[in-house]
Structure 1
């Protein structure tokens, strides 16, 4: 079946089944030292080419299998908004062979439009927006924040956005003192009109460590690279 539609409607594969297949092929359930040379070479190629840590391969395969299925079957009328036509992959032991042999899929124009109507942010947000992102987030790449800033500016809301970044490599949770620091700054902005700065937030965080424990890791000077530096360009409808 075309991989860009996710799992077909009548397929019976479960997440456990997918995990078992990945472990058979890549031994993701084992430390690198316990994998065969072939398995470790495959893991390294995927991580280097797709630009994700090895620990994220399982999660990304879950999304490409089951999330793609949900999008195609429930959001875009059976056609796929995902494609890799025109991508030039880099970072493998033999990029020429990889690009010559990799399966190619073209995103359906109508599916792209329908998916965009459902999910694309407009950047028109009439309230203060304060964000935080770990610079080594393995799930939602930090470069996405560069794109979000552009979207907010194009939507006329750039002045209502303050972005902060931390020295963390997790996605779902950063550290205990991070969140009260941000919420205090956001409430002051909303209630008193005092717009925070990344520098000010970094300076305020240590005061919360006495109550919430260590964990301040703000990087006030950090600026994410454009999304195109992380995600390959491709032919779009």
Structure 2
């Protein structure tokens, strides 16, 4: 809070004014302090924890779970998305339920819904760190604070780690970082494959927009004033590709379109509708609400391969060139510098159908270029999931991170896999760590 002072004529008056301002500031802070309300915990932790919620000064919902046998360590969670809906506390509860293994193992938990729906990595990062501050104010300072980011929240948490890892005096706000299934390529690199999907899909399907509807460039996702809903987008995708039908019930033309779209883009069949939703509705938010209507995507020199007629596809697909102003703005918001200062571990399924495993290599390159590779350990699993991997693996990741923080010894992926095997008897779920491809 910034205090304003009346005109000061003498040093005595200055001292009096400063004292008065400080008292007013303290009083205002006390009167506006965020108060948590007791909330019912989800059933999975109801008997072992107390739960609390509040809405912070920015409008974000903050959810807290504190084990009755708290080990005095805290997980600060950055959730995936971004959701395009108005934030609701249920979103934060759902995130805790997905990762309730941490609470069941004695860790306190705090997460934020972020203050609004839609894209915004820096905004979300500020809200995540604010949730940490609110926890400290109401529940005390933990002995250790670990930052966890999942999916889009991996980008958010990586940004938190660059902006808020240390306080103004250089003391740690966090002690370590876990990034799981993360969007770690940064904003300007992470969404190009969905822009490609948008263009390739329209080449084959011609129904977003459909004949007779106003045209618009594919990089927009949708026009700013579009009333198209996710169910309608799904209906159109299914009509074109038959993706909701059993293969035997698809027409020959549906089979051809679907085969070409999936082969060219690398999108998994089960995820096609979801990726089309993100490349329409989320792109509309990103372009029109966050980038002043400018285009951050570029396929002007892209050669598409894998179809039954690559020459025709490359000749007929819509082309677009990125606007440097949009790229710069998106880079400022969501790209990563690699300037990490905390031990950081990542986990990503090789066959993640939502966020490509290749993003891990992008992050490794950025961190290496910043000279911080000694602070990063990355692991791979042979799973096909994204939103939730085997529970034992999360605890193995966290256990290895804690050992790194305690002893200063950087673990290898093999060390993390060994921890996983040791934990299996007490934290069921399985261990599917494999060597990362080079």
TM over 0.5: yes
Give the aligned partner of residue 407 of structure 2. Answer: 192
Mapping 1:96-175, distance limit 5 Å: 96-175=311-390
User: What is the TM-score of this pair, normalised by structure 1?
Assistant: 0.90
Structure 1 stretches of 4+ with a deviation exceeding 6 A read none
How many residues matched? 223
Which residue of structure 1 lines up, in the alignment, with residue 250 of structure 2? 35
Which structure has more strand as a fraction of its residues? Answer: 2
2-side partners of 1:20 and 1:178: how far apart? 37
Find the counterpart in structure 2 of residue 223 from structure 1: 437
Paired residues of 1:44 and 1:54 also in contact (CA < 8 A): no
Report the aligned-residue RMSD: 1.2
Higher relative contact order (CA 8 A, sep 6+): 1
Q: Distance in 2 between matches of 1:215 and 1:22?
A: 36
Partner of 1:229: none
Q: Deviations over 1:1-29 (max 9, x none)?
A: 11101211111001111011111111222
Q: Does 1:15 align with 2:230?
A: yes
Counterpart of 1:67 (choices 282, 289, 298) is 282
Distance across 1 between alignment mates of 2:398 and 2:252? 48
Instruction: Report the secondary structure of 1:211's partner residue.
Output: coil
**Structure-2-length-normalised TM-score:** 0.50
* Partner Cα distance (2:247, 2:402) in 1: 45
**Cα distance between partner residues in 1 of 2:427 and 2:344:** 24
CA distance in structure 1 between the aligned counterparts of 2:298 and 2:430, rounded to whole angstroms: 39
> Are the aligned partners of 2:234 and 2:273 in contact in 1 as well (CA < 8 Å)?
yes
Q: What are structure 1's unaligned runs of at least 5 residues?
A: 225-237
Residue 341 of structure 2 aligns to a residue in which SS?
A: coil
Looking at structure 2, the residues matched to 93 and 198 of structure 1 have their Cα atoms a distance apart, in angstroms, of: 41
Q: Answer yes or no: is the 8 Å Cα contact 1:177–1:205 preserved in 2.
A: yes
Contact 2:337-2:367 at 8 Å conserved across structures: yes
Q: CA deviation at 1:170?
A: 1.1
Alpha-carbon offset, residue 54 of structure 1: 1.2
